[in-house]
A = this chain, B = another copy of it.
Amino acid sequence: MERPGDDIQALIALMARLPGLGPRSARRIVLHLIRKRTGQMTELAGLLDSVATHSRECLVCGNITDRDECAICTDPSRATGEICVVEDVADLWALERGHVFKGRYHVLGGTLSALDEIGPDELGIPALIDRVHRDGAAEVILALNATVEGQTTAHYIAEALEGSEVTVTGLAQGVPIGGELDYLDDGTITAALRARRRL
């Protein structure tokens, strides 16, 4: 009795579970795709299938790739001795869009969390420490989110690397570009003030 055919119904239900989408936006997208079923929809199905089949995690850094090691880990020009530690691949992509960092990455895949029973082993922190020593890295940049979990994790990694030759750094905290003081939280203003610099 359901009006949109079974497959269409299932497709809408599946789409509605994607992050940021709901039943209404899923219906809109599915109808749009059905209108373009010979072009965009077929292309999307093919790409999804291809990415689902071929993508996996880089054995070295955890980035998404279609080979054993990702393009960054195999690019000799990026052997700068800097390893940038990020929570997940989205953060790696965000940093890459900045085109500033020229070293390599290490994707943790999360943050330490006692509640969720995620400890150093679950995040592969021992593997990171090994890698830092094996590569003879000069600097480890902890580009973790400025949340309690992110900073706890950063602190743990910094401690684990203490006593070794490597320099451990973190991202600067302060007023974001274009940010208006009036709209910033107190913590950010305090951090920006404490880390003020001579102009």
Verify if A138 is at the interface (C-beta below 8 Å from B). no
Residues of the B chain whose Cβ atoms lie less than 8 Å from the Cβ of A46: 45, 49
Give A contacts to B, CB under 8 Å.
Answer: 1, 3-5, 7-8, 10-11, 14-15, 17-21, 25, 27-34, 37-38, 40-52, 54-55, 63-66, 71-72, 88-90, 92-93, 96
Cross-chain contact A45 with B49 (CB below 8 angstroms) = yes
With A7-B66, A20-B29, A44-B48 known, 12 other A-B pairs at CB within 8 A are A5-B51, A5-B64, A7-B47, A7-B50, A18-B32, A19-B29, A31-B64, A34-B52, A34-B55, A37-B52, A38-B52, A45-B48
Residues of the B chain whose Cβ atoms lie less than 8 Å from the Cβ of A34: 51-52, 55, 64, 89
Residues of the B chain whose Cβ atoms lie less than 8 Å from the Cβ of A65: 5
Q: How many copies does the complex hold?
A: 2
B33, B49, B96: the one contacting A3 at CB < 8 Å is: B96
Cross-chain contact A51 with B7 (CB below 8 angstroms) = yes
How far, in Å, is A171 (CB) from chain B's closest CB? Answer: 19
Can you report 13 residue pairs joining A to B where beta carbons are below 8 Å apart?
A3-B93, A3-B96, A5-B64, A8-B55, A11-B48, A14-B44, A15-B44, A20-B21, A31-B90, A33-B48, A34-B51, A38-B52, A41-B48
Cross-chain contact A4 with B64 (CB below 8 angstroms) = yes
